[in-house]
Structure 1
C-alpha cells in the first residue's frame, strides 16, 4: 500500500503562551490548540450541568440508594465498557450503595447491549434499577422489556443514537439530540464518571453522607480507570478528554492507582513512573480487551476492582495469556484475509473501494482488530465478518478519514431495507449483523456506496508530519519535552517528523522488526531507529543507502540507561 508524507503547514503561534517552548508552540498550533488547551488542570473540566439527562439520572440513582434498591450495572465487553462498569461499581460502593452488582453480556451468547435476553437475566437477579454503561442508546426492545417487568432503566452511552431512542427513565448521552455538552468525543467511561459526579452532588444536597456518617468520596481516585478507558476506546483527545487522561496518568505515575492497573503494567513490562497515554493504548488496553474478545470480560472487571496486588497479578497473567492467544488468532486470520484479497485482485488498482471479508471459521472476538489491520494495510474501509452460529454473521467495521461508517451503514440500510438486521457505532468504527446469505449482496452494496462518497485520492494513505526536525532538536531532551507535553492521542496526535537519512546499518529483530542505525545528512549524528512490522519482501535491503522516514522521538530505556530512539512510522528508499 502506498503512503505519502504530508507536512502540516506552519501556523500562527501568537495566541499560545509566550513561555512555551517554540517547538511545542508550533506543534500545538498545528493541532488547533487554543491558549486554554495548554493547561490541563482538573478544575477546568466541563461542568456537568450542560449534559442532558444527567440531573434526572442522578436523582433516580440517589433514590435507589436511599431506598436500598438492587442496582445492576450492565456494561459492554470492551475496555471502555469494563472501565465504565468499574467506575460505577466503585463509586456506588463509596457512596453507600448496599445492593450493587454488574453484568457484562458474553458477546458469544448474548451479543451487544441491553437485549431482552439480558433483561431476563437481570430480572432473575432481582435487579430493580438497571444502569447501562457504554451501551443502551440502541436498546429499544431491551429497555421496553425491562420497563414491562417493573424495572427502572438509566441509559448512559456515547454512541450515536438512531432515529428512535429507548423509552428509558433517563438517558445520558452527549450525542443525543438537544444535549449541549460540548465534548461529543467523550468515552463511555467519561459519561459514567460524570453521572457518578452528579450523583455525589445529589446525595450531598440530601445530607446523605452526614446522615449515614459516611465520608464524601473523592471521585478523583477513579481517574486512573477513566484514563485507561478513554485511551483504549480511541476517542478524540479534545481538551476535556485530555484533562481526564492527564489526571489519571498522574495518579499512576505517583503510585496512587488501582492495583489491577499496576499488575497489568507489570505484565506488559511498562514502568508506572514513566507511563504515557500510548502505554494504556498499546499495552494495557489490549490485555483488558482480550478478556471480552476471547472469554468473559468479568475477568477484566475483577482485575480492576481487585484490592489485593498478588491476586491482581494472577489475574493480569491470565489476561496476558488471553492476549497472546488473541494475537496468534489475529495473525492467522490476517494471513487468510490477505490470501483472500490476493485471490480476488491482480493488483491494488483493482481492489474494491470498500473491502468486506467473511470466513466461517473466523473468531467473533478478533474481527475488529483484523478489520483494523487490513484497513491500515490498504487504506480503505473494511468490514470483517464472522459466523454468529444462528444463520447470521456479525461484522466489525473500520473506516478511514472522510467516511462516517455509521452513516454509511444507515444509507445502505435505507437503500436495501431488510438486508442489515441491526447496526450501530461511530464515525470510524461500527458493528452490524446480516443474514449469512446476504453477504454477497452486502459486499457489492458496501463497495458501491463508498464509491459514491469518496474520491480515489482519499484511498491513498497519508502520514501527517510536523516537518523536518532541526539537528539541535534531535536529542533526548527534546524527546522528554514532547513526552511531558502530552497526553497525545486521537486528533491530538503525538508529533511526527520526517527527513532523509543515510542508512548505516539494518537488521531484523523479533523476526519482523527492522532495527537501524541512521546518520543525519547535514551533520554526522548517528541515531538508533526501529520500524515495527516491516514488509519482509522489501526489508532488509542491503542495496539501499538512503531512506526517507517519518518518525517519532522516543526515550528508549535499557539497563537503567536512557537513549534517544526514532520510532519509524513510514520508511521508503530514496
Structure 2
C-alpha cells in the first residue's frame, strides 16, 4: 500500500478554526454547530434527555440563595464597544524585499514580516512546514526509559493498560498509544475514567481496571503528572506505571518507572507546548524507531494527533503546527472507520475538514461523550475496526451532543435570566452565577458564552445537596487562577490556569466566594472597567484583494492560539450601496475604495452598527478575507469583525 504521508512532502493548506461556524459565537444564544446537525440518534436523544430531566431538581438558585426566576423582559446591559488595537506597520523595505525574493503578494509579506518572519528562508520554512522539522523524540527526558519498559512488556507478553482522560486530548492519546502498541504486538487495552464517577486523573478506578485485566504496566496519557498516591498504590500492587503528560508538574514527580513530560524542570526538549497527544506521538515515534518499524505506519495516525491538538487549544506553532498540518491531510482521507462514521452522522464531507471543522464540529461530539455520557464511547469509536462497528458509537455521540446542546441552551437561558436580575457592570468585575440542577458537563461551555456576552470573568456553579461544582472562564488581562486563589478560604478545592479554572464550594459559602472573587478581579483590573479588544494586524487596500492572496493566506495556517488568522484593516472606505440587516442582526453591505468594490458581511454587527448610523461618510473596517458561494457563483468577501465611522477614536 502506498504510504499516506512521506517526509519531505508538505501538505496543502489546512484551513482554519475561524470558519463560518465560529461567527455564530458573536451571539451567545447561537450554536456554532447549527449547520452540521446530523439526523442520526433522534430516538436516543429523546431518551437521554428524558433521563436527565427526570433527575433535575425544579428549584434554581443564584449566588447560593434559592429564588424564583426573575420577571421576563429583563435584559443585560451590553458591554462597551471594542477598543481597536492596530499593530504598527511592518518595515516596508523588508516587506518589499521578501515579496521580490519569493514572488509573493505584498499583503501576504506584510503579514509575515509583522509576525517576525523577515527572511526568505524563514518564510519558506513557515509556509511549507515539513515532518523533517520535528525534533528527535529521544530529547524528551525519560522517553527512552519509557520506550524500553513498554517494549519489554510487549516482548514478554505482559498485559498493558493505556489510561487516558475524558476530553478529546485524553481520548485521542489513549487511542493512539493503544493502536500503536498493538501494531508492535503488545497485549493492550485502553481505559478512560468517568467524569462524574471516577473524576480526573489516574486513580483507584484505573488501577482496579488494570488488575482486572491482569496488566502489569499502566501507561498514562494526558494525565498522571500529579497522581503521586495512585502511582504509589499501583506499585504496591505490583503494577508499573509510565506517565506521559503535558500538564504542569508539581514540586515532585510521581514515583513512576518513567515520566515523559516536556514541561519537567529537568527536560530540555526544544518545544514544550505539545498537547498530551503530541507527547504520546513522540513516544510512539521512539517506540517505532527502537522496534525498527517504518515511520509511514505511524504517520497514518496523525489524524488523531490533529483532532486532539486543535481541540486542546494549545498553540498552533512549531511542532504543533506541523503535526496539525499533516494530520488534517490524513483526516481528509477519512481512512479511519471512526472518523468516517463521525463524518457520516455530521453530514460533513471529508474534503471539507479543516481546523475549524475539527474545533466546531468533530471535537464537540467526542467531548460530548465525556460530558454527557461515558468517554469510553468516544474511545470505542476511534478504535472501531470497521465502519459497521463504528456507526453505533458515532450515532450515540451525535445523540449525546444533541443533548449537550439542549442542556447548553437551557442552562445559558436560565443563567442569563438570573444574571439580568442582579448584574451591575459598575459593581461586578467578576461574576458568579449558581443554579441547582445544571449539568456539570456544560457549565464550562456556558461560562464561556456568558463571558462573550458581558466581557467579565465568570464562574458558573451547579449546586446539589449543599455542595457546588464550578467552572470558570476569563478575559484578557485577568489571571483567573490567581483570582480564584485569592478566594480560596471559601473553597473546598480548586485548580486551573490563566484562562480557565474549576472549583468545589459549599453552597452556604457561595455569597462569600462571590464577594471575594469580585474583589480579586477588581484588584487585577485596578478598578478600570474591562473593555473588549478588536485587533488589526496589517492594512489591506481593497485593490489588493484577490483570489491569489486568499490562496496564499491559507499557507499561513492552520490558525489558532499562537497563530491567529490575519485580521486586516482598511481606513476611510466608502459604503458603496445601502447597508441592510439580514438574518438575525447581520449587517450586509458593499465597500468601495479607489473604484474597487468588495462585498462584506458582519455577523451580529447589525445591532452595534445599524445601517442608519452609517450615513454617507467613510468607515474603517476590520475584516477577514473569505470566499462566498451563492447559487454556484463564487466571490470574494470581507467578513467584518468590527467597523466604525472613519476616524472615530472612541473605538
Change (3 A) 1:217 1:475: closer
Corresponding residue for residue 568 of structure 2: 497
Corresponding residue for residue 181 of structure 2: 92
Corresponding residue for residue 319 of structure 1: 397
User: 1:126-141, aligned counterparts within 5 Å?
Assistant: 126-141=214-229
User: 1:138-217, aligned counterparts within 5 Å?
Assistant: 138-204=226-292
Corresponding residue for residue 13 of structure 2: none
1:334 and 2:412 are equivalent in the alignment: yes
C-alpha distance in structure 2 between counterparts of 1:360 and 1:126, whole Å: 42
C-alpha distance in structure 2 between counterparts of 1:469 and 1:38, whole Å: 20
CA contact (8 A) 1:143 1:166 kept: yes
User: 1:550-561, aligned counterparts within 5 Å?
Assistant: 550-557=622-629, 561=633
CA contact (8 A) 1:133 1:189 kept: yes
Output one character per residue of 1:233-275: Cα deviation in whole Å (capped at 9) or x when no partner. 111112111010111122234x264232234344444443243
CA contact (8 A) 1:514 1:540 kept: no
TM-superposed deviation, 1:193: 0.7
- Secondary structure of 1:554's partner? strand
C-alpha distance in structure 2 between counterparts of 1:559 and 1:449, whole Å: 53
User: 1:362-511, aligned counterparts within 5 Å?
Assistant: 362-387=438-463, 389=464, 391-410=466-485, 412-413=487-488, 416=489, 419-455=490-526, 459-499=530-570, 502=575, 504-509=578-583
- Secondary structure of 2:442's partner? helix
C-alpha distance in structure 1 between counterparts of 2:605 and 2:427, whole Å: 21
1:22 and 2:94 are equivalent in the alignment: no
TM-superposed deviation, 1:369: 0.8
TM-superposed deviation, 1:513: 5.7
TM-superposed deviation, 1:505: 4.3
Change (3 A) 1:529 1:428: same
1:302 and 2:380 are equivalent in the alignment: yes
C-alpha distance in structure 1 between counterparts of 2:588 and 2:180, whole Å: 48
- Secondary structure of 2:223's partner? coil
- Secondary structure of 1:86's partner? helix
C-alpha distance in structure 2 between counterparts of 1:157 and 1:561, whole Å: 48
CA contact (8 A) 2:111 2:537 kept: yes
Corresponding residue to 1:11 among 75, 86, 90: 90
1:545 and 2:606 are equivalent in the alignment: no
Change (3 A) 1:25 1:372: same
Corresponding residue to 2:297 among 218, 232, 244: 218
TM-superposed deviation, 1:458: 8.0
CA contact (8 A) 2:246 2:262 kept: yes
Corresponding residue to 2:426 among 345, 349, 353: 349
Change (3 A) 1:46 1:446: farther
Corresponding residue for residue 139 of structure 2: 50
CA contact (8 A) 1:529 1:568 kept: yes
* Structure whose CA Rg is larger: 2
- Secondary structure of 1:337's partner? helix
CA contact (8 A) 1:31 1:491 kept: no
User: 5+ residue gaps in structure 2?
Assistant: 1-78, 647-651
C-alpha distance in structure 2 between counterparts of 1:316 and 1:563, whole Å: 35
CA contact (8 A) 1:364 1:386 kept: yes
Corresponding residue for residue 243 of structure 1: 322
User: 5+ residue gaps in structure 1?
Assistant: 210-214
CA contact (8 A) 2:108 2:549 kept: no
C-alpha distance in structure 2 between counterparts of 1:268 and 1:555, whole Å: 23
C-alpha distance in structure 1 between counterparts of 2:340 and 2:585, whole Å: 28
| Aligned-pair Cα RMSD in Å | 2.8
CA contact (8 A) 1:265 1:283 kept: no
1:61 and 2:136 are equivalent in the alignment: no
User: 1:209-288, aligned counterparts within 5 Å?
Assistant: 218-253=297-332, 255=333, 257-288=335-366
Moved more, 215-224 or 51-60: 215-224
Change (3 A) 1:326 1:458: same
TM-superposed deviation, 1:37: 3.1
Change (3 A) 1:322 1:144: same
Corresponding residue for residue 212 of structure 1: none
CA contact (8 A) 1:105 1:111 kept: yes
TM-superposed deviation, 1:168: 2.0
C-alpha distance in structure 1 between counterparts of 2:477 and 2:438, whole Å: 29
Output one character per residue of 1:326-374: Cα deviation in whole Å (capped at 9) or x when no partner. 222212212222222222233x2332x2222221211111111112112
Change (3 A) 1:427 1:174: farther
C-alpha distance in structure 2 between counterparts of 1:174 and 1:459, whole Å: 35
TM-superposed deviation, 1:406: 4.0
Change (3 A) 1:454 1:157: farther
Corresponding residue for residue 81 of structure 1: 170
Corresponding residue for residue 527 of structure 1: 599
- Secondary structure of 2:270's partner? coil
TM-superposed deviation, 1:217: 6.3
Corresponding residue to 2:642 among 561, 570, 573: 570
Taking structure 1 as the reference length, what is the TM-score of the superposition? 0.87
CA contact (8 A) 2:411 2:438 kept: yes
